[in-house]
Amino acid sequence: MDIVAQTIVSGILIGAVYGLAALGLSLAFGVLRVLNVAHGELIMVGGYATFFMFSLLGIDPFVSAVVVFALLMLMGLVLHWLLFAHIVRSNEASRIKNSLLIGFGLTLILHTAAVRLFSADNRTIFTAYSTLAWTVGSVRLPVVKLAGLAIAILAAVMLDLFQTRTTWGKALRATSEDWTIAALTGINVQRAYLVSFALAAGLAGLTGVLISVGFSINPSIGLQWTLKALIVVVLAGLGSVRGTLLAGILLGVAEAISSLHLGGEYREIVGLVIFLIFLSFRPQGLFGVAHA
């Protein structure tokens, strides 16, 4: 029972990071109807930014999180203006197809640039509290991953409040529901797209902070984290920030339990099986709404 409890807790802690990674992807797809498969590369960029701020400037990763979030938002603004703004004027099917092509190209560019600039070695941040853990009964709670859980929850709460309590957030929600009606009511749809993509990139950067301090980063992590985020989005369904975070935790727990009973080599397969099942039988996800 002690092993099972530790496994579930570990799944919750990594699942929160999955949920945070998926928040940005879900936001961009929900509002812009573009599938940014370079989302994982933005996470990678956030991780490297955190690593070099720590190693070169001595800035604690949880302090630099605010700076990384802002830097990735700025990067998102530039990428949207240069690449994605030109495709959001087309119909939904064309948006998805063209965004996939652009995203794959961007993935190759960012991955190659990272290998050239930083080499293919793993980079991990070690701080004075990296090995600290609290023990509750027989369960060990690493401080770094607990902080990651807190940041993921805070980010989800802040995004939910932004969408439900602010004028800008309500404009994003209206645009995601029907951009034509939103435009008729006076909402600047193109600006809503820009803000959404920037926020999505900022959330990717925040995820990179947690990965750099709790796991490790290298130029090849992008695809892995894009897949994790995509699985969580499908599992949760569009339109629910809290549902996305919860779906990430459910995926983390499912992977952890499968690793315990089937072996670590089956951990990745579980997520893909869940992905296929939900696409086939419940494409609206656990928290999404089915459309007629």
| pLDDT attached to residue 95 | 86
The per-residue pLDDT for range 253-281, each reduced to its tens digit, is 999 888 877 766 777 788 888 888 888 88
User: How far is 111 from 11, CA to CA, in rounded Å?
Assistant: 28
| pLDDT attached to residue 96 | 86
- Domains of the chain, CATH where assigned: 2-281 (1.10.3470)
The per-residue pLDDT for range 121-176, each reduced to its tens digit, is 999 899 888 889 998 888 899 999 999 999 999 999 999 999 999 998 999 989 88
User: How far is 234 from 232, CA to CA, in rounded Å?
Assistant: 5
| pLDDT attached to residue 148 | 94
Report the sign of the C-alpha dihedral through residues 269, 258, 222, 149, in that order.
positive
